[in-house]
Amino acid sequence: KYYALLCQTPAQKEGKLTDYLIQDKKNNMSRVATKEEEERKDAKKAVLQYRIIENTSFSAFDFINEAERESLCLVDITLITGRHHQIRVQFSHIGCPIWGDAKYNPDWNEKKNIGKIGLCAYELTFFHPITKQQMTVRY
């Protein structure tokens, strides 16, 4: 599970994003496939669920200018699949890129780049390699 700070608020308070992603290994990027490309062998299904936690002014973020703070939105994300840069690509595709993401946010340029993005994993569930028991680690 993840928290993400988005630059825009999604249209729905909660939802499910389902796309097919194509990875560009040479440039270390991924993109959402067009309808025609979805049948390609390298197009992988990507699914996530999200829920808006807060979309207020984030006044504590005084290092961000006020106009930018007004459009921020904090979301809780559950990955159904785990694809290359999935969260970053899917939210950028719907017009809600992650704050600080110079790779997938077209409005974020090198001048603004601070080397950090508003994305944080807070829960990881996996099967123990020896006991095969499901384990969850939460931060």
% pLDDT > 70, the chain: 88
Per-residue pLDDT at 107: 81
Total-model pTM: 0.87
pLDDT confidence tier of residue 59, bands split at 50, 70 and 90: low
Per-residue pLDDT at 75: 97
Is 128's pLDDT higher than 70?
yes
Neighbours of 133 (CB within 10 A): 8
| Domain spanning 2-138, CATH architecture | 2-Layer Sandwich (3.30)
Neighbours of 14 (CB within 10 A): 11
Per-residue pLDDT at 9: 93
The three-state secondary structure class of 85 is: coil
pLDDT confidence tier of residue 36, bands split at 50, 70 and 90: very high
Per-residue pLDDT at 101: 92
CA dihedral 2, 3, 5, 9 (to 10 degrees): 90
**For the residues 37-54, what does the mean pLDDT come to?**
95
Angstrom CA distances, 120 to 42, 73, 74, stand at 27, 14, 11
Residue pLDDT, tens place only, 71-122: 889 999 999 999 999 999 999 999 999 998 989 988 876 656 677 899 999 9
In the chain, where the domains are located = 2-138
**For the residues 49-73, what does the mean pLDDT come to?**
77
